[in-house]
Amino acid sequence: MTKALFINGSPRKQWNTAQLLQKAMEGAKDAGAEVEMVNLYDRNLNYKGCMSCFACKVKGGRKGVCLFKDDLQSIMEKAVEADVLVCGSPVYCGYPSANLRAFMERLIFPAVNYSDFGHPVINKPKHSATIYTMNCPNEQIYKDNAYDILMDVNARQLGMFGPTEILYSFDTYQFNDYNRYETAAIDEHRKASVRDTQFPKDLEKAYELGKKLVTDSMI
């Protein structure tokens, strides 16, 4: 059975990134995959990025998966068993969240082949995507802020395993109550309107993305 793994790189388990991942997961499930979501900011999950132990590069040792023993190890095993991987992250100060980057270091470095740079050690998870959510209101400002370089380069690293794509959700609703915070520069009414009109479309796109990734992986 096709396995699809969803990685939430937002500390919030019910908000924008998580909701989009949830929809992608529903799409993947409807397409016939066995699905699982991991919340990287779960308080029970203690891990760091690559610890430079080089266990994944030892001659004669197991290759392609991070062997560092901490709470991420079982998740790394699931990631390399997955046919489909979808990572989600908010934009944090122009970059993906720190916990998503730490996860990606642990996923990508073991796949880098020091004996043949052109060929990754492993081709799984083959079909992948990244979902980004952000305050940034549109694609033009995304580019003006150079997010297309910083964020997209991060997402395209998953392309070393196989085809990968990116779904953007702009201008997300950030607080339950905008009045509680110093947000004079933010038009809460416009935010609410984006939440009520555009965000449902983004959810639909996420559903279709999850479905497509699983269907593609079955071909």
Ligand X SMILES: Cc1cc2nc3c(=O)[nH]c(=O)nc-3n(C[C@H](O)[C@H](O)[C@H](O)COP(=O)(O)O)c2cc1C
| Residues of this chain that bind ligand X (CB under 6 A) | 10, 12, 15-18, 90-94, 133-136, 172, 174
Q: How far is the CB of 134 from ligand X (least distance, A)?
A: 3
Sign of CA dihedral 87, 61, 122, 109: positive
Q: How far is the CB of 89 from ligand X (least distance, A)?
A: 8
Collapsing DSSP states into helix, strand and coil, what is residue 88?
strand
Q: How far is the CB of 50 from ligand X (least distance, A)?
A: 23
> Which residue, 160 or 186, has its beta carbon nearer to ligand X?
186
> Which residue, 68 or 199, has its beta carbon nearer to ligand X?
199
Give the bridge partners for 130, in sequence order.
87, 166
Q: How far is the CB of 202 from ligand X (least distance, A)?
A: 11
- The residue among 136, 140, 110 whose CA lies nearest residue 191 is 136
Give the bridge partners for 34, in sequence order.
3
Q: How far is the CB of 40 from ligand X (least distance, A)?
A: 12
Sign of CA dihedral 73, 75, 132, 166: positive
CA 189 to chain centre: 29
65-89 burial code (b ≥16 CB/10 A, e <16)? bbbbeeebeebbebbbebbbbbbbb
Widest Cα–Cα separation across the chain:
60
CA 94 to chain centre: 15
Give the bridge partners for 133, in sequence order.
90, 169
> Which residue, 112 or 146, has its beta carbon nearer to ligand X?
146
Position 52, amino acid: S
> Which residue, 14 or 46, has its beta carbon nearer to ligand X?
14
Q: How far is the CB of 3 from ligand X (least distance, A)?
A: 24
> Which residue, 90 or 110, has its beta carbon nearer to ligand X?
90
CA 19 to chain centre: 13
> Which residue, 144 or 204, has its beta carbon nearer to ligand X?
144
